[in-house]
Amino acid sequence: MEIYFLTHNPSKYEEASNLADQFNVQILWKNIEYEELQENSLEIIATKSCERIIEKNPELQKFVFFLEDAGLFINSLNGFPGPYSAYVFKTLGNEGILNLMKNKGNREAYFKSVVAFYSNENIELFNGVTEGIITQAMQGDGGFGFDPIFKPNKCDQTFSEMTLATKNLYSHRQKSLRELFTSLTAFNKK
C-alpha cells in the first residue's frame, strides 16, 4: 500500500519518514500546499483540511494519505497560540513569543499534533502531546518553527538542540505518527 504524507514542509516529512522506517512503513512525500484553516481546534483543522484537499483535488480520493497539524499551547497565555501557531510563527516568530513571555513566571506549555489519515473515504485522527516549558531565550539552530524555544519535560535540550533521532523520542508529532503507524502495522497483520 502506498501512503502519502501531504505537506509543504520537508522537515515534517523527514521526521515522519524516519519514524515510519522503524515500523517498516514506507511513506511517500506529496508536496502539496493547502489552505491553512483558522479554527479553534486542531482536530477540526485536520479534518476539514482533508475534506478540502479532496474537494479541490478529486483524483486524491483513490489515494491513501495523511496530513498533520500541530500547535504550541502556552498555559500562561491561555493556550495561545494553539491552533493559530503557523500564523503566529509567520507574524511574531520566536522572538515575539519570548517578548509575550517576558514577565511570566509560569512557562509551562505543550505541543499537540493531530494526524488526519484518509483511506477509502474515511478520515481517522491520531493525537500526540508533549509537555514542557518555554525557554528564556532561543537555543539551538536545528528543527523548525518554535523548536528553539520549547524544552520538553525531563530534557535539558530544546527540540532545536536535539538530533532528529532524539527529537523523535519526545516529539508530539512522533507520538501521533506512532499511533498511526502502529494502527497500520496491526491492520496489515490481519
Indicate which residue of 21, 69, 147, 156 is catalytic.
69
pLDDT at 186 over 90: no
Residue 190: its pLDDT value, please? 47
Window from 48-52, 72-76, 108-112 with minimum mean pLDDT: 48-52
- Locate the domains of the chain by residue range: 3-189
Short-list 146, 7, 163, CA closest to 71:
146
What is 3-189's CATH number, 3.90.950.10, 3.40.640.10, 3.40.50.300, 1.20.1640.10?
3.90.950.10
Short-list 146, 165, 72, CA closest to 111:
72
Q: Are 101 and 109 in contact (CB under 8 A)?
A: no
Reply yes or no on whether 156 is catalytic.
Answer: no
Residues 87-139: tens digit of each pLDDT = 999 999 999 999 999 999 999 999 999 999 999 999 999 999 999 999 999 99
Residue 37: its pLDDT value, please? 81
